[in-house]
Amino acid sequence: MWHVSVLILSLSSLVYGAPQVPCYFIFGDSLYDNGNNHALITKAKTNYPPYGIDFPTGPVGRFTNGRNTADILAELLGFETYIPPFASASGQAILKGVNYASGAAGILDETGQHLGARISFNKQLINHQITLSRIKIITAINQSAAVNLRECLYTVGIGNNDYIGNYFSPFYPTRRIYTPEQYATVLVQQYSLQLKTLHDSKARKVAVFGIGALGCTPAMITMYGTNGSLCVDFINSAVQLFNAKLVSLVDDFNNNLSNAKFIYINSYQIALTPTPTTGLSITNIPCCNATNKISFQCIPNQIPCSNRNDHVFWDAVHPTEAADVVTTRRAYNALLLQDTRPYDIQTLATS
Ligand SMILES: *[C@@H]1O[C@H](CO)[C@@H](O)[C@H](O)[C@H]1NC(C)=O
Ligand SMILES: *[C@@H]1O[C@H](CO)[C@@H](O)[C@H](O)[C@H]1NC(C)=O
Ligand SMILES: *[C@@H]1O[C@H](CO)[C@@H](O)[C@H](O)[C@H]1NC(C)=O
Ligand SMILES: *[C@@H]1O[C@H](CO)[C@@H](O)[C@H](O)[C@H]1NC(C)=O
């Protein structure tokens, strides 16, 4: 029932309001990808059932059963349609924004390479330059199609794979080279340059999603064990070192870059503090029959659980649509003071 009321709310905003921002650009990993990996040669691909079982057009490249965070955010912002993937976006549609996110992608270019092709954050930033030159052409021809890039919303959710698809993966040497503290520093230094590049391209309203509680994913629990704890504590500790440095970076940007409005979304805390009346009582068992090796994705063509609104996890690493709705609503409209810093996405969008 709760699910249905969310849908009605978002539909009514679709009917009555103009979007809160003129355009929305999405950078990130599989939590946001809506089709960019479709044509790539990679194991990080979800173009098969049971993915998309609750999405009107079926398995079209989202790494969950229904809508993902980028979709839900587009609805909350009042867009009439989801933001199209870069892989297939064309024509005037790009004036409302483009989704560059790619499953298995990371801050570091090599992250996720054991799965095959992916579009790293650096490559996503290059794709954004391609979009900007296309926009220039469209607006040069059509005088009434102006876009103010400074008024757009930009969300960036990247770094999860630099841990589960690099540092804590057996296929990479990073864990032998760096302490968790050193690795977090390496990542945030690179991330700082990348976010600066985005600002140089006129992005002013930027929401940066921190890394989630990766030590609580079924994949990491199966792989490493919990030693009597609820989650894999050393993975969560490593991730929190990164998040703490990211918070400082966001503060720095707000102090140093001209007209920058960067906000930090505390995905880690949002996942670990309860949201009232949401169900989601099954926190550690995936809904689909997932593989605990390599991709952590659903085994193709198996029937998933029917109580999808009770499960936090869809496969061994990705949340269900129901969990995405809860976390995205708190990113948009903070429930607890610490959910977002210094304010939430709704405040950023309407400021
Ligand atoms: C010009 O841009 C406006 C606003 O985006 C749009 O409604 C119109 O269809 C465009 N005209 C052409 C010829 O593409
Ligand atoms: C397991 O927990 C015990 C007690 O807290 C600790 O001494 C030990 O180092 C832990 N082992 C691992 C592998 O984390
Ligand atoms: C911002 O300025 C502070 C103090 O002037 C400096 O320590 C910091 O490195 C700067 N950060 C960035 C991202 O430029
Ligand atoms: C999951 O897959 C395993 C191995 O193929 C199979 O034995 C098991 O019955 C499956 N479980 C469900 C619920 O489909």
252 lines ligand 3 (CB under 6 A): yes
Which ligand 1 atom sits nearest the alpha carbon of residue 142? 1
Which letter, b or e, does each residue of 198-221 get, where b requires 16 or more Cβ atoms within 10 Å of its Cβ? bbeeebbbbbbbbbbbbbbbbbbb
C-alpha distance from residue 281 to each of 8, 16, 232, 278, 323 (Å) = 24, 34, 20, 8, 11
- Partners of 340 in the beta sheet? 265
CA 93–ligand 1 middle distance (angstroms): 11
Q: Look at residue 5 in the predicted model and tell me its pLDDT.
A: 39
The reported pLDDT for the residue numbered 4 is 39
Q: Is 315 a catalytic residue?
A: yes
Calpha distance 57→35 (Å, rounded):
12
DSSP class per residue in 104-167 = T--SSTTTTGGGB----HHHHHHHHHHHHHHHHHHHHH-TT----GGGSEEEEE--HHHIIIII
Domains of the chain: 16-214+233-272+321-350 (3.40.50.1110)
Told to judge if 318 belongs to the known catalytic residues of this protein, a careful annotator would answer yes
pLDDT in the model for residue 79: 97
Burial 133-168 (b: 16+ CB within 10 A, else e): ebbeeeeeeeeeeebeeeebbbbbbbbbbbbbbbbb
181: exposed, middle or buried (Cβ count in 10 Å: 0-12, 13-18, 19+) = exposed
Q: Does any ligand 1 atom lie closer than 6 A to the CB of residue 142?
A: yes
- The active-site residue out of 30, 102, 120, 267 is 30
Give the chain's count of helices (H) and strands (E): 11, 5
What are the pLDDT tens digits along the chain (351 aa)?
334 334 444 444 444 479 999 999 999 999 999 999 999 999 999 999 999 999 999 999 999 999 999 999 999 999 999 999 999 999 999 999 999 999 999 999 999 999 999 999 999 999 999 999 999 999 999 988 989 999 999 999 999 999 999 999 999 999 999 999 999 999 999 999 999 999 999 999 999 999 999 999 999 999 999 999 999 999 999 999 999 999 999 999 999 998 999 999 999 999 999 888 788 999 999 999 999 889 999 999 999 999 999 999 999 999 999 999 999 999 999 999 999 999 999 999 999
Residue with tokens 């099954």: 282
Q: What pLDDT, on a 0 to 100 scale, did the predictor assign at position 14?
A: 47
Q: Which of 289, 291, 297 has the most ligand 4 atoms within 8 A of CB, as the residue to mutate?
A: 289
pLDDT at 81: 95
Cα 227 to ligand 2 centre (Å): 6
Cβ–ligand 4 contact at 292 (below 6 Å): no
Virtual CA dihedral for 217, 223, 227, 233, nearest 10 degrees?
-50
Ligand 3 atom nearest residue 253's Cα: 13
| Whole-number pLDDT of residue 117 | 98
Closest-CA residue, ligand 3 atom 14, reads 256
Task: Point out the catalytic residue in the list 29, 54, 71, 315.
Answer: 315
Ligand nearest to the CA of 232: 2
Q: Distance between CA atoms of 68 and 100, rounded to whole angstroms?
A: 14
For residue 283, report the distance from its CA to the centre of ligand 2, in Å: 23
30 is catalytic: yes
Nearest ligand (C-alpha, residue 233)? 2
Question: pTM value?
Answer: 0.93
Q: Which is the catalytic residue, given 120, 318, 324, 344?
A: 318
Distance from Cα 252 to the centre of ligand 3, integer Å? 6
